[in-house]
Amino acid sequence: MSGFVKICGLSTAETVDASVARGASHVGFVFYPRSPRNIAPAAAGNLIARLPDHVVPVALTVDADDATIAAILAEAPVKMLQAHGSESPERVADLRRRFGLPVMKAIGIADPADVARAHDYEAVADLLLLDAKAPKKGLPGGNGLAFDWGLIANEGWSRPWFLAGGLTPDTVAEAIRIAGARAVDVSSGVESAPGVKDIGLIAAFLAAARSQFEE
Ligand SMILES: O=C(O)c1ccccc1NCC(=O)[C@H](O)[C@H](O)COP(=O)(O)O
């Protein structure tokens, strides 16, 4: 595939295998106890052991401290960290230094000021993940909410970036086209219920993304 697709919030061997078989480039594991997708580090480690080398396992954390991240890495050998809380640019730089892994910083987008704020992370993050802004109450991500893709159309970025937020097999092609994305991330849009990934939806999402990337 000429673009990248990350399936986030996986927790079973079947859905990991289906994601790999259908061409996912990245798979995400959520380490956030309040999430319906939360996974124990040892369980994530078992799933990571199934991955071929070309698929990047990503650990999603929310404002996690060093000890928490170290405990995750001890059992789940991911190749990338996803900082999905209100981590400052300084904290992102610190995470890269401490753990020696690339860091993808998630930024919630609702208006042009958020787009400007996302640029503040270009100097310190390896990748950006442009997501819908989370509601004040509820989870900081994985809410199945989309943002106005026009806000980032024609925006130039000095780092690779993923488009996320409420993408589904039905909307991902249009989102890629409008935003000009070369990488997309999905969680709720490939679930039959919160935290329950659906193999058919994963296949449909990857097929839709792939055909749009190849346009
Ligand atoms: O998935 C969660 O439960 C979660 C919890 C806390 C922070 C982030 C979380 N998920 C983020 C993602 O899975 C995605 O990177 C992104 O937000 C897109 O999610 P969705 O809108 O559900 O496709």
Among residues 159, 208, 202, which one has the least CA distance to residue 22? 202
Question: What SS3 class is residue 11?
Answer: coil
Q: Calculate mean pLDDT across residues 171-184.
A: 97
Which of 6, 8, 87, 145, when mutated, tests ligand 1's pocket best, judged by the most ligand atoms within 8 Å of its CB?
8
> Is residue 15 in contact with ligand 1, taking CB distance under 6 Å?
no
Expressed as residue numbers, the domain containing 177 is 4-213
* Ligand 1 center–CA 18 separation, angstroms: 19
pLDDT digits (tens, 9 = 90+) for 34-60: 999 999 999 999 999 999 999 999 999
- Domains in the chain, number: 1
Q: Calculate mean pLDDT across residues 114-131.
A: 97
Catalytic residue, from 8, 17, 111, 120: name it.
8
* Ligand 1 center–CA 208 separation, angstroms: 20
* Ligand 1 center–CA 205 separation, angstroms: 16
Pull the structure tokens for residue 80. Answer: 């990338």
Residue 84 has pLDDT above 60, yes or no: yes
pLDDT digits (tens, 9 = 90+) for 187-208: 999 999 999 999 999 999 999 9
CATH at residue 208: 3.20.20.70
Question: What SS3 class is residue 146?
Answer: coil
ipTM field:
0.97
